[in-house]
Structure 1
Amino acid sequence: MSLYRTELRRLVKRRFTRYMTLLGLLVLAAVVVGVFFSNQKIDATAHARAERQAEQQYQEQVRYSEQERASCERDKAAGVNADRYPPDCAMISPPPREAFEARWFLPSTFDFRKSFTFTLIPFAAILALVGFVVGASFVGAEWNSGGMMNLLLWRPKRLTVLLNKLAALLTGVFAVTVSAGLLWFGGFWLVAMFRGSTAKMTSGAWQSFALTGLRGLVLVLAVTTVGFALASLGRHTAMALGGVVAVMVVGQFGLGILLEMAGTRFAQAWLLPTYALAWMQKKVTLEDWDACNATFTGECKPDTLDITWQQSSALFAVGVVVILGAALWAMRRRDIS
């Protein structure tokens, strides 16, 4: 029997894999349902209501300005509260009517073309977490229960065994991610149809969605590989889970606080979530407001630093290669006991 097929069946039949996958899918479904009920389709009635609210807001500002101007004239005549008002009470006037735009009062609506890309970020994050935990448990449980030693008695080629396990794991995660991605797309398409808009969908928009989804898939597979490699390296699921907790809590939050206290410019450039976000969005622009670059109009513009998806890909590729390489080296060199 093929080792790869055996490992794939073992992965599918594990209860932890099924429960963790089901939990991840339920969370994704909850997100879609939440977005559905928090948005609504904007029709002529909603536009008319928004226009009335804008007019009401404007009239309230007119009345408030008239009251303040009357108070100004009264206090100035009495010679009190002179520092509370401008030199000329006529300067107190309401904002222009065009300052109150009806679109500010429109309810939230889901525009598929503008919003779907941003939904792929939590989608990738949730499935990456599921993949990490499932990957760590898949190989960690084998080490902890002694199943790895028994398997190596049947197939003594260590690297072949480990790589077949990894291949089976990535196949399963790939299938779940692609299937969930199609359901995610279908769910938000329905949200847009009934609670928003599907207008202005061009070939460029579809291509952008496809590329962002592909980057999300790669991120999920990379994080799954890291979880698998860490658990194999430590020969226990807790090694992977403890490692990620240490990195995120100590290495990220602690480092972030330390960099902020030290006044480091672009402190977020040292944090992994920034690069994950840049990978999904293609670019993240960090701003340093402590450095003020005055323009010819007197406007203050901060210094900026761009983190691109190319930089993120290089960082993640090196990380995956180093961690997986260490796991393979340890598998080859260390005693199996």
Structure 2
Amino acid sequence: MSLYRTELRRLAKRRFTRWMTVLGLLVLAAVVVGVFFSNHKIDAAAVASAERKAEQEYQQQVRYTEQERTACEQAKAGGTAEPGRFPEDCSVISPPPREAIEARWFLPPTFDFRKQFDSTLTVFAAILALVGFVVGASFIGAEWNTGGMMNLLLWRPKRLAVLATKLAALLTGVLTVALPTALLWLGGFWLIGTYRGSTKKMTSGAWQSFGLTGLRGIVLVLVMAAAGFALASLGRHTAMALGGSIALVVVGQFGLGILLKMAGVRFVQAWLLPTYLTAWMEQKVTLENWNACNFSYGGECKPDTLDITWQHSSVLMAVGVTVILVAAFWAMRRRDIS
């Protein structure tokens, strides 16, 4: 009997895996439904309504400025003007030009597929990465906690091969769920763009960009699943991975951020993990340091900037997951199984 196929069946039959996957898919479905009902198709009626609202807003501004100018003139004439409330010349109180109030401000939200779909892939990857991390930690953690790992090693004593097979089965299962879900995500937002927005101006370059972003999202999901698996294997319990992740967020992120700010470190976000995860999905994150000004010829203050790119994130993720996996396999080889 193939150990790989056995582990795949074990992964698929675990109730926690099923329920966690269903929960993640329901959250993704809720996001799609929410975006669908919160956006609208912009037609001639919507444009006409926006124009009317823009005109109403302009007339309201005209009435308001007329009232203020009249109040200014009366206060100046009666000598009761409050210091600083009105200008010296009441005639400068005038309404904004009509073109300053644009009709597009009053249009209902609409989903532009070309401009907005890329950002939805970050949401997709974040939700599936969380599911993958928890499922990966539970998959191996439950084996240690229930004694299943010890029983398995009685008839398959090759420790490293067993652990590697379990990891391969986990990643295969996660990928099997993530790929079709990504296609459904794409189809759902294409329908939203068709019926609640626009799908115009889609070029081959735009599709290629979406494809690369989606690929990075899938890689992030697999990395997080492997990280959860490795941490739980190190601690021989699911709680090791979950507790470690909570400690990383609370101590390693909030605590470190506060400490770095108190120390006056520039670009504090460059030391925090979420910055690199965001850069991985969005290709680049530009950090700004407003405590330092680079004055332009016009006297404008321009902050120092630091670019964090997806290449930086890829190095960090590769090193991080490699170190954790190597530690997990080393512990599997060196420690007693009991």
Superposition TM-score tier, normalisation by shorter sequence: over 0.9
Q: What runs of 5+ residues in structure 1 fail to find an aligned partner?
A: none
Q: Any residues of structure 2 matched to 1:314-325 within 5 Å, and which? A: 314-325=315-326
Distance of aligned partners of 1:79 and 1:291 in 2 relative to their CA distance in 1, 3 Å threshold? same
**Equivalent in the alignment of 2:12:** 12
Cα deviation, residue 258, structure 1: 2.6
Q: Between 130-139 and 69-78, report the one with greater CA deviation.
A: 69-78
Cα deviation, residue 261, structure 1: 3.6
**Equivalent in the alignment of 2:53:** 53
Q: Give CA-to-partner distance per residue, 1:241-267, whole Å, 9 cap, x none.
A: 000000011111222233334433211
**Equivalent in the alignment of 1:102:** 103
Q: How many residue pairs get matched?
A: 337
TM value normalised by structure 2: 0.97
Q: Between 55-64 and 326-335, report the one with greater CA deviation.
A: 55-64
**Equivalent in the alignment of 1:27:** 27
Distance of aligned partners of 1:294 and 1:87 in 2 relative to their CA distance in 1, 3 Å threshold? farther
1:287 matched to 2:288? The reply is: yes
**Equivalent in the alignment of 2:257:** 256
CA RMSD of aligned residues (A): 1.1
Q: Give CA-to-partner distance per residue, 1:251-300, whole Å, 9 cap, x none.
A: 11222233334433211111101100000000001112222333233332
Moved over 6 A (4+): none
Cα deviation, residue 90, structure 1: 1.3
Amino acid at match of 2:226: T
**Equivalent in the alignment of 2:78:** 78
**Equivalent in the alignment of 2:119:** 118
Within 2, Cα distance between the matches of 1:287 and 1:61?
Answer: 37
Cα deviation, residue 95, structure 1: 1.4
Within 1, Cα distance between the matches of 2:60 and 2:263?
Answer: 47
Q: What runs of 5+ residues in structure 2 fail to find an aligned partner?
A: none
Q: Between 280-289 and 82-91, report the one with greater CA deviation.
A: 82-91
Q: Any residues of structure 2 matched to 1:219-238 within 5 Å, and which? A: 219-238=220-239
Within 2, Cα distance between the matches of 1:24 and 1:160?
Answer: 30
**Equivalent in the alignment of 1:93:** 94
Q: Give CA-to-partner distance per residue, 1:58-108, whole Å, 9 cap, x none.
A: 111111111111111111111222532112111111111111111111100
Cα deviation, residue 129, structure 1: 0.5
Secondary structure of the corresponding residue to residue 84 of structure 1:
coil
Amino acid at match of 2:313: S
Within 2, Cα distance between the matches of 1:292 and 1:95?
Answer: 33
Within 2, Cα distance between the matches of 1:292 and 1:69?
Answer: 40
TM value normalised by structure 1: 0.98
Q: Give CA-to-partner distance per residue, 1:149-178, whole Å, 9 cap, x none.
A: 111111111000000000000000001000
Amino acid at match of 1:109: T
1:128 matched to 2:116? The reply is: no
Within 1, Cα distance between the matches of 2:225 and 2:164?
Answer: 13
Within 1, Cα distance between the matches of 2:201 and 2:8?
Answer: 42
**Equivalent in the alignment of 1:66:** 66
Q: Give CA-to-partner distance per residue, 1:107-143, whole Å, 9 cap, x none.
A: 0001111110000001000000000000001000000
Within 2, Cα distance between the matches of 1:98 and 1:324?
Answer: 61
Within 2, Cα distance between the matches of 1:94 and 1:266?
Answer: 43
Amino acid at match of 1:211: L
Q: Give CA-to-partner distance per residue, 1:170-209, whole Å, 9 cap, x none.
A: 0000010001101111111111111111111100010000
Cα deviation, residue 37, structure 1: 0.6
Within 2, Cα distance between the matches of 1:216 and 1:153?
Answer: 38
**Equivalent in the alignment of 1:155:** 156
Q: Between 54-63 and 306-315, report the one with greater CA deviation.
A: 54-63
Amino acid at match of 1:190: L
Amino acid at match of 1:315: L
Q: Any residues of structure 2 matched to 1:207-226 within 5 Å, and which? A: 207-226=208-227
Q: Any residues of structure 2 matched to 1:158-237 within 5 Å, and which? A: 158-237=159-238
Within 2, Cα distance between the matches of 1:72 and 1:275?
Answer: 55
Within 2, Cα distance between the matches of 1:281 and 1:187?
Answer: 21
Within 1, Cα distance between the matches of 2:47 and 2:300?
Answer: 35
Amino acid at match of 1:99: A
**Equivalent in the alignment of 2:301:** 300
Amino acid at match of 2:238: T
Within 2, Cα distance between the matches of 1:101 and 1:241?
Answer: 50
